[in-house]
Structure 1
Amino acid sequence: FLFFVVQIMSAAILILAANTAYQDFPRLSSILASDRLMPRQFMNRGDRLVFSNGIVILAIAASLLVWYFDSDLNRLIQLYLVGVFISFTLSQSGMVVRSFKLRPRGWHKTVAISGFGGIITGIVLMVVVYTKFSRGAWIVLVMIPVLMFLMKSIHDHYESLAGQLGRPDRKPVDRRPGHQHVMILVPRVDGAAARAVGYARSIRAAEVFAVTLDPSNLAPWKRLAPDIQITRLQLEKSRTKTIKTFIRAKRGELRADDFLTLMIPETLGTRSFFEIVKHPRLHRLKASLLTEPGVQVLDVPVLNEDMEAGIDEAQEPARNYVCVLVSSVHNATLQAIEYAETLQAADIRAVSFGLDPETTERLGNDWLEARIPHPLEIEDSPYRDIGRSLTSYIQQYDADGFNRIVTVVLPEFVVAKRRHQILHGQTGFIVKRHLLFAKGVVVASVPYHVETEVRPRAQSPTT
Structure 2
Amino acid sequence: MHSLSKKLPHVSLSSLIFGNPLKSKSAEEHKVGVLASIPVFGSSIISSQGYAVDEILYVLVALGAVGFAQASKVSLGVILLLGSIMLVYRKAIQKYPQGGGSYTIAREFLGVNYGLLAGAGLSLDYILTVAVSVSSAVENITGVIPWVATTPNHKIGVIIGIIIFMTIVNLRGLKESAALFSLPVYFYLFSVLTLVGIGVYKTLVFGVDPALVTHPMAITGNGLTLFIFLRALAGGTTALTGIEAISNGVAAYKVPAQKRAISTLFILGVIVTVGLSGLAFLASNYHTVPTPQNTVLNQLGLIIYGQTFMYYILMVCSAVILVIAANTSFAGLPILLNLMARDGYMPRYFKNLGDRLVYDKGIWLLTIIGIVLVIIFKGNTHLMIPLYAVGVLIGFALTGIGLAKHTFEVKERNWLGDIIVFSFGGFVSTVIFLVFLVTKFREGAWIVVIILPTMMGIFKHVHTVYQNEKDVIHPSIADIALFAERITEINQRRQSSNLSEYRNKCIVPVFDINRVVLKALLYAAEATPLVTAVHIASDMERAEKLRKHWNESHIGIELEIIESPYREVVKDIIHYIDQAESDPRWTSITVVIPEYVPNKFWQNFLHNQTGQLLKLLLYLRKNIYVTSIPYHPPANMPKLK
Amino acid at match of 1:411: P
1:421 aligns with 2:604: yes
1:319 aligns with 2:503: yes
CA distances 1:240-264 after superposition (whole Å, capped 9, x unpaired): xxxxxxxxxxxxxxxxxxxxxxxxx
Q: Is the 8 Å Cα contact of residues 401 and 441 (structure 1) preserved in structure 2?
A: no
CA positional deviation for 1:429: 0.8
Tell me the residue number matched to 1:135: 443
Q: Would you identify which runs of 4 or more consecutive aligned residues in structure 1 move more than 4 Å?
A: 1-4, 169-179, 399-403
1:41 & 1:33 partners in 2: Cα distance? 8
Amino acid at match of 1:430: L
Q: Is the 8 Å Cα contact of residues 353 and 380 (structure 1) preserved in structure 2?
A: yes
Identity of counterpart residues, as a percentage? 34
1:390 aligns with 2:594: no
Give the number of the structure whose residues are more often helix, by fraction: 2
Which range moves more in the overlay, 376-385 or 121-130? 376-385
CA positional deviation for 1:368: 1.2
1:60 & 1:364 partners in 2: Cα distance? 39
Tell me the residue number matched to 1:261: none
Pairs within 5 Å for 1:301-312: none
Q: 1:175 to 1:372 in 2, by over 3 A?
A: closer
CA positional deviation for 1:81: 2.0
CA positional deviation for 1:137: 1.8
Amino acid at match of 2:374: V
CA positional deviation for 1:38: 0.7
Q: Which runs of 5+ in 2 are unaligned?
A: 1-306, 491-500
Q: 1:104 to 1:156 in 2, by over 3 A?
A: same
CA positional deviation for 1:379: 0.7
**Tell me, what secondary structure is at the counterpart of 1:128?**
helix
**Tell me, what secondary structure is at the counterpart of 1:387?**
helix
Tell me the residue number matched to 1:354: 537
**Tell me, what secondary structure is at the counterpart of 1:136?**
helix
**Tell me, what secondary structure is at the counterpart of 1:383?**
coil
Q: 1:137 to 1:359 in 2, by over 3 A?
A: farther
Tell me the residue number matched to 1:91: 399
- Which of residues 351, 354, 368 in structure 2 aligns to 1:43? 351
Tell me the residue number matched to 1:452: 635
Q: Which runs of 5+ in 1 are unaligned?
A: 180-316, 457-463
**Tell me, what secondary structure is at the counterpart of 1:384?**
coil
Q: 1:167 to 1:348 in 2, by over 3 A?
A: closer
Which range moves more in the overlay, 113-122 or 386-395? 113-122
CA positional deviation for 1:26: 0.9
1:419 & 1:170 partners in 2: Cα distance? 29
Pairs within 5 Å for 1:26-175: 26-168=334-476
Tell me the residue number matched to 2:38: none
CA positional deviation for 1:4: 4.5
Pairs within 5 Å for 1:19-30: 19-30=327-338
**Tell me, what secondary structure is at the counterpart of 1:450?**
coil
1:87 & 1:99 partners in 2: Cα distance? 18
Tell me the residue number matched to 1:338: 522
Taking structure 1 as the reference length, what is the TM-score of the superposition?
Answer: 0.63
1:70 & 1:162 partners in 2: Cα distance? 43
Q: 1:452 to 1:13 in 2, by over 3 A?
A: farther
Q: Is the 8 Å Cα contact of residues 323 and 409 (structure 1) preserved in structure 2?
A: yes
Q: 1:3 to 1:141 in 2, by over 3 A?
A: farther
- Higher relative CO (Cα under 8 Å, sequence separation at least 6) belongs to 2
Tell me the residue number matched to 2:150: none
1:408 aligns with 2:591: yes
Q: 1:453 to 1:114 in 2, by over 3 A?
A: farther
Pairs within 5 Å for 1:262-341: 319-341=503-525
1:329 & 1:318 partners in 2: Cα distance? 26
1:403 & 1:126 partners in 2: Cα distance? 70
Q: Is the 8 Å Cα contact of residues 165 and 332 (structure 1) preserved in structure 2?
A: yes
**Tell me, what secondary structure is at the counterpart of 2:504?**
strand
1:91 & 1:424 partners in 2: Cα distance? 31
CA distances 1:40-67 after superposition (whole Å, capped 9, x unpaired): 1212332223211110111111112222
1:49 & 1:123 partners in 2: Cα distance? 40
Q: Is the 8 Å Cα contact of residues 175 and 341 (structure 1) preserved in structure 2?
A: no
Q: Is the 8 Å Cα contact of residues 347 and 462 (structure 2) preserved in structure 1?
A: yes
Amino acid at match of 1:130: V
Pairs within 5 Å for 1:354-373: 354-373=537-556
CA positional deviation for 1:425: 1.7
1:14 aligns with 2:312: no
Give the number of the structure whose residues are more often strand, by fraction: 1
Amino acid at match of 2:432: V
Amino acid at match of 1:451: P
Q: Is the 8 Å Cα contact of residues 503 and 585 (structure 2) preserved in structure 1?
A: no
CA positional deviation for 1:376: 0.8
Q: 1:436 to 1:402 in 2, by over 3 A?
A: farther
CA positional deviation for 1:167: 4.9
Q: 1:359 to 1:32 in 2, by over 3 A?
A: farther
**Tell me, what secondary structure is at the counterpart of 2:532?**
strand
Q: Is the 8 Å Cα contact of residues 505 and 528 (structure 2) preserved in structure 1?
A: no
**Tell me, what secondary structure is at the counterpart of 2:527?**
coil
CA positional deviation for 1:175: 5.1
Q: Is the 8 Å Cα contact of residues 86 and 122 (structure 1) preserved in structure 2?
A: yes
Q: 1:68 to 1:403 in 2, by over 3 A?
A: closer
CA positional deviation for 1:170: 6.1
CA distances 1:184-238 after superposition (whole Å, capped 9, x unpaired): xxxxxxxxxxxxxxxxxxxxxxxxxxxxxxxxxxxxxxxxxxxxxxxxxxxxxxx
State the aligned residue count. 318
CA distances 1:247-282 after superposition (whole Å, capped 9, x unpaired): xxxxxxxxxxxxxxxxxxxxxxxxxxxxxxxxxxxx
CA distances 1:17-37 after superposition (whole Å, capped 9, x unpaired): 311111121122122112211
1:447 & 1:178 partners in 2: Cα distance? 23
1:9 & 1:77 partners in 2: Cα distance? 22
2:375 & 2:388 partners in 1: Cα distance? 16
Q: Is the 8 Å Cα contact of residues 531 and 557 (structure 2) preserved in structure 1?
A: yes
2:425 & 2:351 partners in 1: Cα distance? 35
Amino acid at match of 2:352: N
Q: Is the 8 Å Cα contact of residues 503 and 587 (structure 2) preserved in structure 1?
A: yes
